[in-house]
Amino acid sequence: MSMVDGPKPFSTAKSEQKTANMESAGVPPGSSGAVPRPNRKFGSWSDRWREMPRQKQWLILIPVVILAFLLPVINPPLISTEPGNDWPLACQAMAIFALVAVGLNIVIGYAGLLDLGYIAFFAVGSYTAAMLTSPDSAFIKIPYLWTIPVAIAVSMFVGVLLGLPTLRLRGDYLAIVTLGFGEIVRILATLIPAMKGQPGFQNVGHPPGIGADGIPIFANSNGTPWYWLTLVILIIVLFLVGNLERSRVGRAWIAIREDEDAAETMGVPTFKYKVWAFALGAGVGGLAGSLMGGQVGFVNNQKFDVVTSILFVAAVVLGGSGNKVGAILGGALVAYIPLRFTAIAEYKFLIFGLALVVIMIYRSQGLLPARQRLLAYGTAAYAAVRRRGSANPSAAGGSGTGGGAHTSSSTPAHRAEGEQA
């Protein structure tokens, strides 16, 4: 808010944004504000990981990925879901949620935009897949696998459509507009006859292939092949997102999240990159939606409520917003906990709602905190910070230093950055 109350040339939301008060200066979601908190356990793991050479990372990653692929087959006794919840299907649900969380993480974690209606893009993806494959729909039919790119394109388009009016403004407006949009998509699905409201679309398509016993490999109740398909797509998305994260685009996002005005001043076209983040997030959401639609085989208007959208946000925040591994963990946990502990399944919305508040108050960086400011400098920067960190105990903590002028801008991490640059 301006201190001067005199004549003002224009008082658009943009100028409000420029003069936003000190409390809300762009601090990254990963940082803990004024007090950089040490969080030894997880922080040091991720540091150790990041300073490893690529080959060593692969050496660890490949067994992890193989294990992930074998997960529905080995059905580990303690981890497995309770009877009544099919374990391969649970794995599929976890993979879908992880994919959603990775997509939402682009929007919330990297660009710092709060999208509360992510379910809408998920719904758009599901409906695209359903309307192009289900016999109940009047549209032209295409093979299921072709609907996936179409779903991505359509949801990205919707994302851009929704982002254009709102992303020029302050982030808060985006939150409420997306929240409203999440609900409106559901109402529109009821009102528009082509979307068939409650009856919905039965027999949504699935990838081709018939098993030895004559039933399709990708049957609705057969979780394992769907899980594998989703996992492959998840890994591809992770590669793409990881590359984006380390590119000019990723740095622009992080700059926007840390301090939008500063980024704009430094020549980052903030609006453009915000729209990109929003559209890409929407695209991944649509992708996950089309996979979900295919696996469940039935799409109607009852599935896409805003509460699920808040679960998605909880997944990102729980895992650690800005960290894609954290997003996977968060997404998988949010899907897994209600299936593993059926006794608390009906309380899941309460639990994750409460978790949002508690995490924000006590550990706003989530389970796996992000350290985005070092991202641009690669493994060497992590190593440098870590060396400093062992000399100075406080350096192991404080994910990110982005507190702006009023917070600790001289933590060791920051100094290390200076040296690297």
Partner 1 sequence: MIPTILMAAPVSNDWITLDFVSLGQNFWSATFDGLTFGSIYALVALGYTLVYGVLNLINFAHSEVFIMGCYAVFFTLSFLGFGPSAPNLGVGAIILNLLLALIAAIVASALTAFLLERLAYRPLRKRNAPRLVFLITAIGASFTIQYLIFLWRGPVPEQALTMFQTKPVFQVFGTIIYSDQILIVTAAVIMMVVTERFISKSRTGRGIRAVAQDPDTATLMGVNKEKIIITTFVIGGILAGAAALFYVMKIPSGVVYNGGFILGIKAFAAAVLGGIGNVRGALLGGLLLGLIGNYGQILLGNSQWTDVVAFMVLVLVLLFRPEGILGTSLGRSKA
**Residue list 77-116, contact with partner 1 (CB under 8 A):** 108, 112, 114, 116
Report DSSP state, residue 408. -
How many Å apart are CA 254 and CA 116, to the nearest integer? 20
Residue 128 near residue 154, CB atoms below 8 Å:
yes
Q: Residue 150 belongs to what H/E stretch?
A: helix 144-166
Closest CB 136 distance from partner 1, rounded Å: 12
Give, as ranges, the residues between 271 and 330 that touch partner 1 (CB under 8 A): 301, 306-307, 310, 313-314, 317
Closest CB 8 distance from partner 1, rounded Å: 8
Choose one: 27-35, 86-94, 99-107, 331-339; the region binding partner 1 (CB under 8 A): 27-35
CA angle (58, 385, 374) in 5-degree steps:
70
Give, as ranges, the residues between 185 and 204 that touch partner 1 (CB under 8 A): 186-188, 190-193, 196-199
Cβ partners under 8 Å of residue 316, min gap 6: 101, 104, 105, 108, 109, 326, 327, 330, 331, 366
How many Å apart are CA 385 and CA 232, to the nearest integer? 34
Q: Name the token pair of 393.
A: 């105990």
**Between 196 and 386, whose beta carbon lies closer to partner 1?**
196
Asked whether position 29 contacts partner 1 by CB under 8 A, the answer is: yes
| CA dihedral for 68, 71, 72, 78, sign (positive or negative) | negative
Asked whether position 342 contacts partner 1 by CB under 8 A, the answer is: no
Asked whether position 145 contacts partner 1 by CB under 8 A, the answer is: no
How many Å apart are CA 277 and CA 255, to the nearest integer? 13
**Between 219 and 351, whose beta carbon lies closer to partner 1?**
351
**Between 59 and 192, whose beta carbon lies closer to partner 1?**
192
Asked whether position 350 contacts partner 1 by CB under 8 A, the answer is: yes
Q: Which long-range contacts (CB under 8 A, 24 or more apart) does 22-25 make?
A: 22/406, 25/259, 25/404, 25/405, 25/406
Which has the closest alpha carbon to 319: 355, 354, 362, 367? 367
Choose one: 9-17, 58-66, 67-75, 367-375; the region binding partner 1 (CB under 8 A): 9-17
Give, as ranges, the residues between 32 and 71 that touch partner 1 (CB under 8 A): 32-35
Asked whether position 357 contacts partner 1 by CB under 8 A, the answer is: yes
**Between 199 and 267, whose beta carbon lies closer to partner 1?**
199
Asked whether position 344 contacts partner 1 by CB under 8 A, the answer is: no
Q: How far, CA to CA in Å, does 4 sit from each of 7, 14, 25, 117?
A: 9, 17, 19, 37
Choose one: 18-26, 74-82, 263-271, 367-375; the region binding partner 1 (CB under 8 A): 18-26
Give, as ranges, the residues between 389 and 418 that touch partner 1 (CB under 8 A): 406-407
Query: Of residues 78, 361, 405, 421, which one binds partner 1 by CB under 8 A?
Result: 361
Choose one: 147-155, 173-181, 202-210, 323-331; the region binding partner 1 (CB under 8 A): 173-181
Q: Name the token pair of 276.
A: 């990109």
Closest CB 48 distance from partner 1, rounded Å: 27
Q: How far, CA to CA in Å, does 350 sit from each of 3, 6, 154, 361?
A: 41, 48, 33, 17
Choose one: 21-29, 74-82, 247-255, 269-277; the region binding partner 1 (CB under 8 A): 21-29
Residue 168 near residue 238, CB atoms below 8 Å:
no
Q: Residue 101 belongs to what H/E stretch?
A: helix 87-105
Q: Residue 130 belongs to what H/E stretch?
A: helix 118-133
Choose one: 40-48, 59-67, 240-248, 360-368; the region binding partner 1 (CB under 8 A): 360-368
| CA dihedral for 195, 197, 202, 208, sign (positive or negative) | positive
Asked whether position 179 contacts partner 1 by CB under 8 A, the answer is: yes
How many Å apart are CA 156 and CA 185, to the nearest integer? 15
**Between 16 and 86, whose beta carbon lies closer to partner 1?**
16
**Between 164 and 266, whose beta carbon lies closer to partner 1?**
164
Asked whether position 130 contacts partner 1 by CB under 8 A, the answer is: no
Closest CB 211 distance from partner 1, rounded Å: 37
Closest CB 166 distance from partner 1, rounded Å: 6
Q: Name the token pair of 345.
A: 């399944």
- Using CB under 8 A as the binding criterion, the count of chain residues that bind partner 1 stands at 77
Asked whether position 28 contacts partner 1 by CB under 8 A, the answer is: yes
